[in-house]
């Protein structure tokens, strides 16, 4: 009985050992299979990556597709840089106009959009301070006229040997004192916009009043702002009118910092806008900014343009074209040789007689149907001139075949 039990126990152990061994072998076999599969996939991915960069053709296919290449060389960069631009007012030809003394608006003679000439009356302002200033000037002038006549008479008496040196000296001192007081009052009336004639004659546009200030335009131009009404109280802080002379305008373009060395400080500039599609406006660069915008990586380039016909309006958009400086060399290839996919640019480069590589490049300016290549190509290499689309289609075909495998 004990012997039978012992035999059964040994048999059970053998069966259990065999079962565990098989499990380990199956597990090892599965792991090996997974590793092989992973290696195969990695190899497939490497092969696919390789196919996405190179195309291999037979010499017969190259001849049939009429693929031609050209050696990469440095060429002189001639043409224009085109910048997005906006027309702005010439700040040197703008003026804010108001009253330098406190008063109340009596009359307004102009409206928005009116063209005014330098010296033209825009409005009249009444005020007690104005009357006091006028009176002070009139009094000073009268005192000066009297002191001058006394002094002139004393000089004449001295010349006739009947005058007194003491009286002459006193009259001279009084004259000089009166002259100083007059000059001070004269400067005061001119500082608020009045002339001697305005005060002496005491006339506005249509009436006589010593307490009225004539507000005149300091420049020729158009009224582009009017901020007052009749009866409104005004003082030195009130900007009653804004006048703009648009005979010249500024055009502001944004130049990328990478192109800064390609233009000169003082150069001609040309402006184009879709509104006048068949017209080119000529101007000159008057300012190049000294700081780069952190976000756009551009700096301001300002041109000044004549605008006698008033076609160019502030806030109008267009393109500012600047000629490229002399002695600038770059790699230039035809536009049709450059492939754009999304935000990336590619060029096919001939590796040998039958292999062509799709090369990632960095582009710069486009001038006269040629593209500047800033990075990705080297002088002496050969790029594909004709047959680019054939190579592109062959590459797509190989990618699809790789995906199927």
Task: State how far Cα 223 lies from the chain centre.
Answer: 26
CA gap 353, 54 in Å, rounded: 13
pLDDT of amino acid 129: 73
- Read off the DSSP letter of residue 259: G
**Pick the residue with more confidence: 196 or 40?**
196
Percent of the chain with pLDDT over 70: 80
E-state strands within 203-354 = 212-216, 221-226, 233-234, 241-244, 248-256, 268-272, 281-288, 298-306, 317-323, 329-334, 338-341, 344-350
Closest among 247, 205, 243, 245 to 226, alpha carbons compared: 243
pLDDT of amino acid 200: 66
pLDDT digits (tens, 9 = 90+) for 170-194: 889 998 998 998 888 888 777 676 6
Rg of the chain over all Cα atoms, to the nearest angstrom: 45
Averaged pLDDT of the chain: 81
Residues 385, 388, 390, 396, CA torsion sign: positive
Whether the CB-CB separation of 241 and 223 falls below 8 Å is answered with: yes
Two tokens, residue 322: 């600047």
Q: Is 137's pLDDT higher than 80?
A: yes
pTM as predicted: 0.54
Mapping DSSP onto H, E and C, the string for 69-128 reads EEECCEEECCCEEEEEEEEEECHHHEEEECCCCCEEEEEECCCCCCEECCCCEEEEEECH
Q: What angle do CA 103, 104, 109 make, to 5 degrees?
A: 120
126 phi and psi, to 5 degrees? -100, 145
Domains of the chain: 55-75+328-404 (2.40.420.20), 80-90+246-323 (2.40.30.170), 95-244 (2.40.50.100)
279: part of which helix (H) or strand (E)? none
């Amino acid at each position: 009985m004990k012997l039978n039990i012992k035999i059964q126990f040994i048999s059970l152990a053998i069966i259990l050992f065999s079962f565990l061994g098989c499990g380990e072998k199956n597990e090892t076999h599965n792991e090996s299979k997974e590793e092989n599969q992973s290696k195969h996939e990695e190899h497939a991915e490497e092969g696919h990556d390789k196919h996405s960069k190179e195309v291999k053709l037979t010499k017969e296919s190259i001849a049939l597709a009429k693929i031609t290449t050209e050696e990469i060389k440095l060429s002189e960069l001639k043409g224009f840089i085109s910048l997005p631009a906006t027309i702005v007012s010439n700040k040197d030809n703008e003026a804010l106009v108001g009253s330098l003394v406190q008063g109340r608006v009596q009359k307004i003679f102009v409206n928005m959009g009116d063209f005014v000439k330098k010296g033209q009356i825009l409005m009249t302002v009444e005020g007690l301070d104005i009357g006091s200033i006028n009176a002070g000037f009139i009094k000073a002038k009268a005192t000066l006229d009297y002191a001058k006549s006394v002094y002139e008479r004393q000089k004449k008496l001295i010349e006739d040997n009947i005058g007194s040196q003491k009286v002459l000296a006193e009259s001279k001192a009084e004259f000089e004192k009166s002259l100083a007081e007059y000059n001070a009052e004269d400067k005061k009336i001119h500082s608020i916009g009045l002339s001697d004639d305005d005060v002496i004659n005491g006339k506005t546009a249509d009436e006589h009043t010593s307490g009225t200030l004539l507000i005149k335009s300091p420049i020729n131009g158009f009224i582009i702002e009017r901020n007052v009404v009749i009866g409104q109280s005004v003082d030195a802080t009130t900007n009653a009118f804004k006048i703009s002379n648009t005979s010249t305008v500024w055009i502001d373009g944004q130049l990328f910092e990478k192109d800064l060395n390609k233009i000169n400080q003082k150069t001609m500039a040309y402006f184009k806008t879709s509104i006048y599609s068949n017209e080119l406006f000529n101007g000159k660069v008057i300012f190049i900014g000294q700081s780069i915008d952190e976000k756009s990586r551009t700096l301001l380039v300002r041109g000044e343009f004549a605008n006698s016909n008033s076609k160019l309006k502030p806030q109008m958009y267009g393109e500012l074209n600047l000629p490229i400086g002399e002695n600038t060399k770059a790699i230039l290839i035809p536009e049709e040789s450059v492939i754009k996919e999304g935000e990336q640019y590619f060029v096919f480069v001939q590796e040998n007689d039958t292999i062509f590589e799709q090369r990632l490049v960095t582009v710069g300016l486009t001038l006269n149907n040629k593209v500047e290549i800033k990075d990705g190509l080297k002088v002496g290499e050969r790029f594909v001139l004709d047959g680019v689309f054939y190579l592109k289609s062959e590459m797509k075909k190989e990618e699809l075949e790789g995906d199927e495998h």
